[in-house]
Amino acid sequence: GVNALTLERFLIVEFLERLTDQRSTRDINIDFPSEIKDILIEADKRRLARVLSNLLDNADHYAGGATRIEVQVKEDTLRLSIIDNGPGIRREEQSSIFERFARGSEGSRRGSGTGTGLGLSLVAEHVKLHGGSVEVLSANSDGSGSIFTVTLPGVIR
């Protein structure tokens, strides 16, 4: 069906490097412990690329500047955190941000207010299909910056 995953095994770090290399307009750093360089995940590559592209587009749209992807592996679980230094997301908006057509408040957006409000709901749907989760936190104590963390099962050691 429409929601069927096409699972394949691939190297996590290589996948992230290839994905970010295609984004010439962005300053993106990938932080990962060297021991996970050769770790595989079994996931739907196309959907996972969409998840990360949407999160990186979001960081670009709201924050600009440098974005960091932090990669962690615990047992069979992958945690990807996309960290930006934008204006942040109001606490009261954080719980609804993954709903369809939800959009951040005007004050938190750089540039024009384009966007359908579907990007983060698609992120949530794709992650849920994998049996994972996604959450958002403010990166800094003053509420600025955002950390979107995607947690996925399927790591193969």
Each residue of 29-67: pLDDT tens digit? Answer: 999 999 999 999 999 999 999 999 999 998 888 887 789
**Domain range for 66:** 7-156
Q: Enter the pTM of the model.
A: 0.87
User: What is the bridge-based pairing of β-strands 66-74 and 27-31?
Assistant: parallel
Each residue of 89-113: pLDDT tens digit? Answer: 888 888 888 887 665 554 444 444 4
- DSSP code string of 72-94: EEETTEEEEEEEE-SS---HHHH
As for how many domains the chain has, the answer is 1
User: Is 1 within a domain?
Assistant: no
Query: Cα(155)–Cα(75) distance, rounded to whole angstroms?
Result: 8
User: Is 2 within a domain?
Assistant: no
CATH classification at residue 27: 3.30.565.10
Closest to 64 in 3D by CA, of 49, 89, 84, 88: 84
